[in-house]
Structure 1
Amino acid sequence: MSNLARKFQQQQQVERTVEERGIVKTKKYWLTPGEKIIGLVFTGMVCFGAVQLISNQAEIYQVNKEIQTLQSQVVEQQKVNSDLEVQVKELSTYERIWDKAKQMGLVLNENNVKVVQEK
């Protein structure tokens, strides 16, 4: 046999063994379908948690804003109340009450004065 015939025969044997083996290339996936599902569920949970966190922070911000508004209203009302208390003290002095009583025609009768004591 010549060298050329021998090479041809070896090539045919290699082709037959390749055909016999039935080389089928299988694709290796990076992730299995179960891992993909778990990954999607985890991603969904992370997104849901992020949305919940942001919405809770927005609600907290609104409540804090309302608290600040109410506190400023309370401070303003306290100022008004303190001003009114000062007016009450000024208007309830003994001299002013005595002047108003004289203007209305009341006179002080010392025989008719009774002293009231607190218990």
Structure 2
Amino acid sequence: MFDLSHVALLMLAGLIGTWIWRGLGLRDRALILVRQHCKQVDVQLLDESIVLNRIRLARNRGGRFGVVRRYGFEFTVTGERRYHGNIQLHGARLLGIELAPHPFPSAGPDDPNLREKLL
């Protein structure tokens, strides 16, 4: 009725469930980091969401293997155009956030603060 193969299947299902649960937690961490970065560089995160683009195995600086997750997102500067960005996490550690080339929000030639920034 309940043999070793059932135990193995239950353990496998538990491991898969744990991996998915951890992945959702890491996705939430990535979203928080992206929100902070967008606020810091004065751009607006669109749709308040990120999407998993890629999963791969890689070594960290210490030589240990881990899962690298790459999430994509979209942002805007003026609200007229969407730009793409991505964030990479090695486990829970941030590897980097990249934003596509975009205009700076307050660097127009008629910006009164531009002269102070340059001086």
Q: Normalised by the size of structure 2, how large is the TM-score?
A: 0.40
Say which structure is richer in strand.
Answer: 2
Structure with larger Rg: 1
Higher relative CO (CA 8 A, sep ≥ 6), structure 1 or 2? 2
